[in-house]
Structure 1
Amino acid sequence: MIYTVTLNPSVDYIVEVDQFEIGSLNRTVADTKFPGGKGINVSRVMQRLGVETEALGFIGGFTGKFVEDFLRAENIQTNFVKVSGDSRINIKLKTEVETEINGLGPSITDEQLAEFFAVFEKMTEEDTVVLAGSIPGTLPASIYKEIISLCKDKQIKVVADVSGEALKEVISENPYLIKPNHHELGELFQTDIQTVEEALKYGKKLVEQGVKHIIVSLAEKGALLITERTSLIANVPKGKVLNSVGAGDSVVGGFLSALQKNYSMEEAFKIGVAAGSATAFSMELCTKEKIEELLPKVEVMKG
């Protein structure tokens, strides 16, 4: 089973306004609500590609019920720890420029944290854990390191799509896969990465340190997959970007879905890139049909 961890799930309230004016009454032209959080996005993409996952994390209140009901309606398994406060609401305001307002999220007790960790005791070496997103201030900063330590003891694969200090801690534990963008990769080495060649150089350094697989996204310049055995460079299909939320999560979901179905590493990489682009070109997360449409436009060459 592939387990996705979203420590601070949300209801993403996406609001479209023709012209937004501060201090005035603004009326929406459209609005939608989706369950939010990077791990949840990975689960939703994998479900659309026919691979089962189980979503883990903390939810509470009427917003938490919305998240859980929405995922179950999409036939996604959940095993959330219930907390007393409401899960957060994140506002995505789409107008001339895109603006986001993210909520804090509920407080979590020691007992609820222990209940969350108990889930990992039941996992086996056949399982994979996806850690995605930032660590909320209501949880200990060491939580990802604790999860990885549990997984290492049981030989569970760990996939991490995290940034900042969390990424540094994850790298020290030799994860199965990380997916930084070029800015996040540069921060690790206190440098500014602008080219594919620079990303390749520093990505290889992380493989030398023990990371098994690295996918580096470079926006319109493409993406890299770096492993001990090979380095691959993929272009990004051309299209109008409509959505900046969830594209990176879709890369992870597409890549892992393909590996779960025993595709080759190269083909899984292509599917991941196509999935990321399919989300970027849609108002919501990618669909299987959109991925299949873009897949022939993804070309991969050796790095």
Structure 2
Amino acid sequence: MYEFQHPRPVTVALQAISGVVEIAAEDRDTVEVVVEPLDDRDAAREAADKTRVVLEGDTLVIEVPRAETWRLRRSPRLAITARVPAGSALTGKSAAADVRASGVWSAVKLDVASADVRIDAVTGDVSLDAASGDLAVGRVGGALKMDGASGDLRADDVTGDVKAKSASGGIHLGAVGGSVKASTASGEVRVGRLHQGRSDISTASGDVRVGIAAGTGIWLDLNAVSGRMTSDLAPRPDTEPVAASDATVELKVRTASGDIHIHRAAEGMAA
């Protein structure tokens, strides 16, 4: 085990290959890291021993060694566990190691090739990119960017703007405080609640469901080439339709093959 006295938040710089990474941001004044092999192979034990774990100023480096002889499917599988002070930041890359970050983080930026990522809570911005794998975030205090080639994208509560793109996978968003730009070639898109901003949602094959916060004025631009469009947004009596310039929410939705449903959302409603 590696242990460093460090009462301040750190920036975790992660370079993982295969296995699982679990990192907790919690109330503590030390940094702890454990690197263990997930099997009895000599290559796994060697990779665990040679993994670089150093604290350079306020940056915690966790770097699994790369070997030209290791193919991805035969890469040593490691279990990396780290505990850092709350409010730390997380950056880095993973080839095929799932990443689970619990606790409250200040910012997260991760790029994975073939792995699942789950982040609990972030007070600032989040950026997640994956070639293959599911990406999930709990609460985001800033803006959120998610990009996946194959896999589902999910966020429960985002204060700022959201940009989400998937080639093959669903996009599921809960409450969003800003604008949404979401697109997927194959998969459904769900937004639990919008209450302001200009949003643009598109899918080639999949349904779209969007909830609008109660009392919010909305301007709609909907088009479904092959599918139904429904809405339970009842206008108030004796009122004119909302113009785009007066709307709190401007929503544009396009789907080639799928249904579109717009509805009123209750407070705290998730996708």
The answer, yes or no, to whether TM exceeds 0.5 is no
The higher-RCO structure (CA 8 Å, 6+ apart) is 1
Q: Which has the higher helix share?
A: 1
Q: Which has the larger radius of gyration?
A: 2
- TM-score normalized by structure 1? 0.27
Q: Which has the higher strand share?
A: 2
